[in-house]
Amino acid sequence: MGDEGADAPPTRTREDDVGKVYLVGSGPGDPDLLTVRAARLIESADVVLHDKLPGPEILGQIPAEKREDVGKRAGGEWTPQEYTNRRLVELAREGNSVVRLKGGDPFVFGRGGEEAEHLADAGIPFEVVPGVTSAIAGPAVAGVPVTHRDYASSVSFVTGHEDPTKDESAVDWDALAATGGTIVVLMGVGKLPAYAAELRAAGLDGDTPVALVERATWPDMRVATGTLDTIVDVRDDAGIEPPAITVIGDVAATRDRVVAFLENGESAPVGAGGREEPESEAESESDSTPESEGESESESTPESEPDRGENA
Ligand SMILES: C[S@@+](CC[C@H](N)C(=O)[O-])C[C@H]1O[C@@H](n2cnc3c(N)ncnc32)[C@H](O)[C@@H]1O
């Protein structure tokens, strides 16, 4: 209890007028994989700022009048991060409850950290609501455990968006190859040929299993499997596009052993373009890629936003 007298008039401070920002992870896209807290906050929010990664099902459930898209703009340009930062502060200062909805977990390659720092600098109260990251859920729903007692005791999550042939690359593919564990690459569709070659050069066997999981948990999810030597052709034959997860390591072969009984995303075609799949299936699935999701990340990414590449 405070020491104000019972008769003291209620005082409104500046803080009372300021709303709050929630940095919320949507999970990979299936509305059932939203956390309870995320679903409640989306429901009660005045405004939801989002990009495309939460996927069509989750975004489709949010009333259009309270949605603001801060992803790709008409013409293929990204909304600058500075605009999003500014808008979050502006909306909160107007007293709104603001959900900043990000695919997966907001702090996994999601710029959530930058937004948190910006809000703190601006004195805006905020909360982080973790989400189910596509880095784990994507492989999982495809029947690929990122660790396995028999095959992988460690897992590394990396961005594939950087050019691994550049000196300044922050991803040490040699070191990753040496771990002997699973490598999960986000934003790694465009640069797949480069890092597959890097990993081969670093000593990983060409037969190392690889799985690509496109639009994991979305109604039109697809999975393609191959090996380090074949995966680029598999990607091209199947027409795999962002958003997709690349899983490299022996765990990726688990899918082949469980897929006949795997019921995740039953309605979703699985196995497109994989080496064991019948040709006809691969063909029909590659046709199902909606144009709106076929964004090619790297070409359209402004230099100043290197990791926005495959953020659909
Ligand atoms: C900017 S990162 C954001 C990652 C996100 N914060 C998370 O935790 O899942 C964007 C990348 O995440 C991956 N991604 C996100 N959602 C996905 C999904 N439903 N299916 C496959 N990959 C996904 C893709 O690699 C995509 O290029």
Give the 3-state DSSP-derived string for the chain, with helices as H, strands as E and coil as C.
Answer: CCCCCCCCCCCCCHHHHCCEEEEEECECCCHHHCCHHHHHHHHHCCEEEECCCCHHHHHHCCCHHHEEECCECCCCCECCHHHHHHHHHHHHHCCCEEEEEECECCCCCCCHHHHHHHHHHHCCCEEEECCCCHHHHHHHHCCCCCCECCCECCEEEEECCCCCCCCCCCCCHHHHHHHCCEEEEECCCCCHHHHHHHHHHCCCCCCCEEEEEECCCCCCCEEEEEECCCHHHHHHHHCCCCCEEEEECHHHHHHHHHHHHCCCCCCCCCCCCCCCCCHHHHHHHHCCCCHHHCCCHHHHCCCCCHHHCCCC
Locate the ligand 1 atom nearest the alpha carbon of residue 161 and give its number: 27
Residue 53 CA to ligand 1 centre (angstroms): 7
Check if 1 is active-site. Answer: no
Which residue in 30, 51, 105, 237 is the catalytic one?
Answer: 51
pLDDT, block means (10 residues), the chain with 312 residues: 46 69 98 98 98 96 97 81 97 98 97 97 98 98 97 96 67 96 97 97 97 97 98 98 98 95 64 37 30 32 40 54
Instruction: Spell out which residues line ligand 1, taking CB within 6 angstroms.
Output: 28-29, 53, 102-105, 108-110, 133-135, 138, 186-187, 213, 215-218, 242-245, 310-311
Report pTM.
0.84
Residue 161's pLDDT is 86
Check if 221 is active-site. Answer: no
Nearest residue (CA) to ligand 1, atom 5: 104
Residue 169's pLDDT is 72
